[in-house]
Structure 1
Amino acid sequence: MTLAMAGGVSVAAQTAASASTSAPAPVRAAADTCSYPYVCLFKNGTRIGQFQDVTSGFQNLPSRPSGPNLVVQNTRNDDVAYIRWSGGTVTCIPPKQSFTVSGGTLTGIRIDSRSTC
């Protein structure tokens, strides 16, 4: 398991200018993306985790991320990714696909060498 706590989903850089004479607000840099061969989790545009290893069982997500504004991105070419919900339901994410979590809590992730769900 590889877990990273930095980066984020690709978003346009944002700028804000101050209407007063004070200095303009800082520019938010374009966020990192999820590169091959990872499955990444993004919350509000910030990467909160990334996983690389094919496993026979689920890897627990101690942070228990939840929607809205949660995206799971599978950059792998031939491997599916499964996410496990707090109620035990499992969702499969095909290779090179993303899944947006609009509600609910994730408790685990598993990368499988199958190429289809």
Structure 2
Amino acid sequence: MTLAMAGGLSVAAQTAASASTSSAVRAAADTCSYPYVCIFKNGTRIGQFQDVTSGYQNLPSRPSGPNLTVQNTRNDDVAYVRLSSGSAICIAPKKAYTVNSGTLTGIRIDSRSTC
């Protein structure tokens, strides 16, 4: 799942950008093993989380996009990332989320299997 791209891109540009994002997500998944939820900035892992929690774990580094990917390698647990805007994004098991803009402030792993 990725944030919507800015309007005005040609179909070819959108396809190239999508392929680039997919490559980055695959590369991130290669370095984040089960049962972690990992955060990558420019392809470098900057954090990983494993514990199911009832509340958000604050992210003191407050990473921001672009080129920020959250990879959920868990088989049956969703992960929520909280943005500085106050909104939260749910990441399904074995999926990734790319942050094109915005700042992450927290993460929570939930034992539910669907968003």
**Bin of the TM-score, shorter chain as denominator length:** 0.7 to 0.9
* 3-state SS of 2:66 partner: coil
Equivalence for 1:57: 55
1-side partners of 2:45 and 2:101: how far apart? 18
2-side partners of 1:10 and 1:56: how far apart? 30
Equivalence for 2:107: 109
For residues 82-111 of structure 1, what are the alpha-carbon distances to aligned partners after superposition, in whole Å with 9 as ceiling and x for unaligned? Answer: 000001100000000000000000000000
Equivalence for 1:10: 27
Displacement of 1:35 in angstroms is 0.1
Displacement of 1:47 in angstroms is 0.1
Structure 1 residue runs of 4 or more that deviate by more than 2 Å after TM superposition: none
Equivalence for 2:69: 71
* 3-state SS of 1:10 partner: helix
TM-score (norm 2): 0.75
Asked which structure has the greater RCO (Cα within 8 Å, sep 6+), the reply is 2
Q: Mark the runs of 5 or more structure 2 residues left unpaired by the alignment.
A: 1-25
Equivalence for 1:27: none
Percent of paired sites with the same residue: 80
Aligned to 1:34, which of 32, 35, 40?
Answer: 32
Displacement of 1:51 in angstroms is 0.0
2-side partners of 1:95 and 1:35: how far apart? 13
State which structure, 1 or 2, has the greater radius of gyration over its C-alpha atoms: 1
2-side partners of 1:68 and 1:86: how far apart? 14
TM-score (norm 1): 0.74
2-side partners of 1:110 and 1:45: how far apart? 22
1-side partners of 2:38 and 2:82: how far apart? 14
> How many residues are matched?
89
